């Protein structure tokens, strides 16, 4: 179910749109493997007709199901676009597609939500990542530590006399 705005209704007065848009309608499944959209988009919008265009303003909100890129823990992240705006031209080269006096706002909402996705979702800013799997080898009592051997390439250069 797409979010449709009838431009004929805008001739008389501004149109208030409020509700939820199912996440399946946004087709966001394959955008990022660390981010999944399972909750609907809540919208509070007001559409008004300008000379030869439509201006839609309002807020969009949804919850993202993310995986932390450092520790791979799942977490939820609220995404809010409080001052969302979209200007749709009704004439000219970049005019919006009008079908039966209606304009579909879904592609414009989808585009701005994708642009607002976090590039590297973190469960918390100070996340230290996965715990180290390889532990330091245990030191056996009575065995002396061997000094680290220098790289043979650097050792040969250290011998050079200039």
Q: pLDDT tens for residues 41-61?
A: 999 999 999 888 899 999 999
| Model pLDDT, residue 139 | 54
What would the mean pLDDT of 145-157 be, rounded to a whole number? Answer: 64
Q: In the prediction, which pLDDT does 68 show?
A: 92
Report pLDDT for 134. Answer: 46
CB atoms within 10 A of CB 62: 24
Mean pLDDT taken over the chain: 84
Dihedral angle over CA of 98, 101, 102, 108, nearest 10: 30
Q: Where are the alpha helices (DSSP H) in the chain?
A: 106-116, 152-158
Mean predicted confidence (pLDDT) in 68-91: 92
Percentage of the chain beyond pLDDT 90 is 40
Overall average pLDDT of the 2-7 stretch: 86
**Annotated domain spans of the chain:** 4-116
Could you tell me the pTM of the whole model? Answer: 0.72
Six-digit token pair at 53?
């265009």
| Tens of pLDDT, residues 92-148 | 888 888 888 889 999 999 999 999 999 989 998 888 887 765 444 555 555 555 555
Give the Cα separation of 151 and 11 in Å (integer): 79
Provide the phi-psi class of 92: left if phi over 0, else alpha when psi is between -120 and 50, else beta.
left
Report whether pLDDT(26) > 90.
no
User: 81 by DSSP, 3-state: which?
Assistant: strand
Contact 95, 53 (CB under 8 A): no
pLDDT at 52: 87
pLDDT of 146 reads: 54
- The pLDDT assigned to 42 comes to 94
Res. 29: pLDDT tops 50: yes
> Residues of 107-136 as b/e, b for ≥16 C-beta within 10 angstroms?
ebbbeebeeebeeebbbeeeeeeeeeeeee
| Pick from 25, 42, 161, 16: nearest CA to 106 | 25
Q: How far apart are CA 56 and CA 14, in angstroms?
A: 10
SS3 8: coil
């Amino acid at each position: 179910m797409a979010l449709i705005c009838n431009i004929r209704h805008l001739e008389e007065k501004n149109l208030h749109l409020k509700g939820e848009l199912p996440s399946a309608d946004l087709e966001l499944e394959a955008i990022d493997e660390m981010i999944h959209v399972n909750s609907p988009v809540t919208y509070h919008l007001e559409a008004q007709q300008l000379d030869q265009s439509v201006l839609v303003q309002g807020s969009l909100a949804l919850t993202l199901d993310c995986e932390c890129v450092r520790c791979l823990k799942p977490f939820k992240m609220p995404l809010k676009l409080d001052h969302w705006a979209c200007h749709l031209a009704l004439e000219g080269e970049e005019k919006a597609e009008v079908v039966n006096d209606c304009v579909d706002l879904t592609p414009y909402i989808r585009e701005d939500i994708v642009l607002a996705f976090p590039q590297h979702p973190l469960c918390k800013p100070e996340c230290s990542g996965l715990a180290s799997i390889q532990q330091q080898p245990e030191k056996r009592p009575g065995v002396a530590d061997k000094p680290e051997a220098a790289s043979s390439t650097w050792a040969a250069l250290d011998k050079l006399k200039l």
